[in-house]
């Protein structure tokens, strides 16, 4: 028999029931619901911000992939373009772009009269201004590439002025045109009339992906061709340098390094380098590669070297994790049948860790592709019009890079460049998406659980 240790009081306890929720429980439940709502809210906010970010970029950027062209027959007057009359390319080169500008102007005037469009209230230069300043240079290049065109009448697809282009993308309206010194409502009405006759059309813009950057006055001609090529060259350098060095360093640290002072210093160094601000690597690149080693500014090789140093810690950390995930039994089995330590690592551990290493490498490359700040310091912001040559010599030629091109365009005055910048970001994001999807694919396909 047990002793009663608690006196049973005769008075009934305070009225509490499991079925009736008292004030304190209500308060606690409310706190619980609030806490949950905060958490859900935080997730919803983050996802919403992601959606808004993507939406604004795509809203602003899709315009860059469409371009307004004027399609008119152009008479390449031999009297103006080839005064000597022998179609010699050397002589043709002496004719400047201004002559081609005049030819385009005359052709446009002819097209307007032959279609019976009224140009009241527009002076000659105002009509000519409809055509982009870049168009005459493009026509000249076309003629120089094929001198036989001189004297013929050819169908030409001519770039229109950035304002007219913006008008058909909704960026320029009649109201803003009235206040703009570069265009006028009358000019836009003329463009509308030409569009009605089918002479102006807004089409898919391949040249955005292939053309080089253009000067301040010609946003309609600017493209990301050199930037894509420059980014590609830099990724090539990173791939060739960072991957072997990073994998070799991780193999040493993970498999061979003795536990000593030096190993500790290397490990602390790597984890710190992973967190050093990227701009510091830019300063290093400027001081070491350009000022001391004397490499040229804006060259993809310098950008590639700087990005290599930046990406190394990422690759090393990922590779070490992949090597660590290979179970020790594999190494023991290899050693047990008489392999040397080196053989066990290179013949057995490394192939098994390969998918993890590849995934980490691709993620490191993706990071490097989007990096901007260090490239600004090594002169990649320079205005580059000429495509770099083929590697390896081309690695020394000046080039641009996708993220730097975006920065470059945000610094220009004409709002049309913002559209181009957003377009370049879409290109960049598509590249990043492809790389990340490839990494996910590799992980799914080859991932092995031990």
Q: Which CB sits closer to another protein, 24 or 449?
A: 24
Q: Which CB sits closer to another protein, 115 or 367?
A: 367
* Cβ contact 303:290 at 8 Å: no
Which residues have CB under 8 Å from 105's CB, separation 6+? 124, 127, 128, 131
Annotate each residue in 371-400 with x if it binds another protein (CB under 8 A) or - if it does not, as one string. xxx--xx-x-x----------xx-------
As measured in angstroms, the least distance from the Cβ of 244 to another protein is 8
As measured in angstroms, the least distance from the Cβ of 239 to another protein is 16
Written as six digits, the tokens of 388 are 């770099």
Q: Which CB sits closer to another protein, 150 or 406?
A: 406
Q: Which stretch binds another protein (CB under 8 A): 78-86, 162-170, 174-182, 420-428?
A: 420-428
Q: Which of 95, 239, 295, 321 binds another protein (CB under 8 A)?
A: 295
As measured in angstroms, the least distance from the Cβ of 287 to another protein is 3
Instruction: Give the separation between CA 321 and CA 315, rounded to whole angstroms.
Output: 10
Q: Which of 86, 113, 215, 291 binds another protein (CB under 8 A)?
A: 291
As measured in angstroms, the least distance from the Cβ of 275 to another protein is 4
H helix and E strand count, the chain:
20, 3
The reply on whether position 118 binds another protein by CB under 8 A is no
Buried b (16+ CB within 10 A) or exposed e, 282-308: bebbbeebbeeeebeebbbbbbbbbbb
Backbone dihedral angles phi then psi of residue 4, each to the nearest 5 degrees:
-75, 120
What is the maximum alpha-carbon separation in the chain? 130
202 vs 158, 169, 217, CA distance in Å? 12, 9, 20
Half-sphere exposure of 273 (CA within 13 A, CB side): 20
As measured in angstroms, the least distance from the Cβ of 385 to another protein is 19
Q: Which stretch binds another protein (CB under 8 A): 12-20, 311-319, 328-336, 441-449?
A: 311-319
Binders of another protein in range 229-258 (CB under 8 A): 244-246, 248-249, 251-253, 256-257
Q: Which of 125, 170, 294, 328 binds another protein (CB under 8 A)?
A: 294
Measured at the CA of 118, the angle between CA 114 and CA 124, to 5 degrees, comes to 85
Annotate each residue in 24-53 with x if it binds another protein (CB under 8 A) or - if it does not, as one string. ----xx-xx-xxx-xxxxxx-xxx-xx-xx
């Amino acid at each position: 028999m047990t002793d009663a240790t608690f006196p049973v009081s005769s008075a009934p306890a305070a009225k509490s029931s499991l079925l009736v929720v008292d004030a304190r429980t209500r308060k606690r439940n409310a706190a619980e619901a609030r806490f949950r709502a905060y958490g859900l809210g935080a997730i919803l906010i983050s996802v919403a911000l992601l959606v808004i970010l993507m939406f604004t970029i795509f809203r602003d950027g899709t315009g860059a992939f469409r371009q307004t062209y004027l399609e008119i027959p152009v008479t390449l007057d031999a009297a103006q373009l080839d005064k000597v009359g022998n179609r010699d390319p050397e002589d043709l080169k002496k004719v400047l772009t201004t002559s081609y500008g005049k030819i385009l102007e005359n052709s446009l005037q002819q097209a307007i009269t032959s279609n019976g469009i009224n140009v009241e209230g527009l002076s000659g230069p105002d009509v000519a201004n409809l055509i982009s300043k870049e168009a005459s240079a493009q026509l000249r290049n076309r003629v120089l590439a094929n001198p036989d065109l001189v004297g013929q009448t050819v169908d030409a697809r001519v770039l229109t002025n950035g304002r007219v282009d913006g008008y058909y993308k909704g960026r320029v309206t009649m109201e803003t045109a009235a206040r703009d010194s570069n265009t006028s409502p009358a000019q836009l009405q003329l463009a509308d009339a030409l569009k009605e006759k089918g002479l102006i059309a807004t089409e898919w813009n391949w040249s955005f992906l292939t053309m080089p950057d253009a000067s301040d006055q010609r946003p309609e001609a600017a493209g990301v061709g050199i930037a894509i090529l420059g980014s590609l060259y830099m990724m090539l350098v990173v791939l060739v340098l960072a991957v072997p060095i990073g994998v070799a360093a991780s193999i040493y640290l993970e498999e061979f390094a003795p536990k000593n002072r030096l190993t500790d210093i290397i490990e602390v160094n790597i984890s710190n380098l992973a967190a050093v601000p990227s701009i510091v690597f830019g300063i290093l690149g400027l001081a070491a590669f350009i000022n001391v080693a004397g490499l040229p500014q804006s060259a993809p090789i310098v950008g590639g070297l700087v990005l290599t140093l930046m990406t190394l810690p990422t690759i090393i950390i990922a590779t070490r994790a992949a090597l660590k995930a290979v179970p020790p039994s594999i190494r023991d089995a290899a050693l047990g049948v008489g392999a040397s330590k080196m053989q066990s690592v290179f013949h057995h551990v490394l192939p098994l860790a390969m998918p993890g290493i590849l995934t980490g490498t691709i993620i490191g490359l993706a990071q490097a592709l989007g990096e901007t700040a260090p490239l600004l310091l090594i002169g990649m912001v320079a205005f580059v019009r000429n495509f770099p040559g083929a590697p390896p010599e081309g690695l020394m030629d000046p080039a641009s890079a996708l993220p730097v091109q975006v920065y470059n365009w945000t610094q220009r005055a004409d709002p049309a460049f913002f559209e181009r910048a957003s377009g370049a970001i879409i290109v960049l994001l598509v590249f990043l998406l492809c790389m990340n999807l490839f990494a996910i694919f590799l992980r799914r396909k080859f991932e092995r659980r031990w």
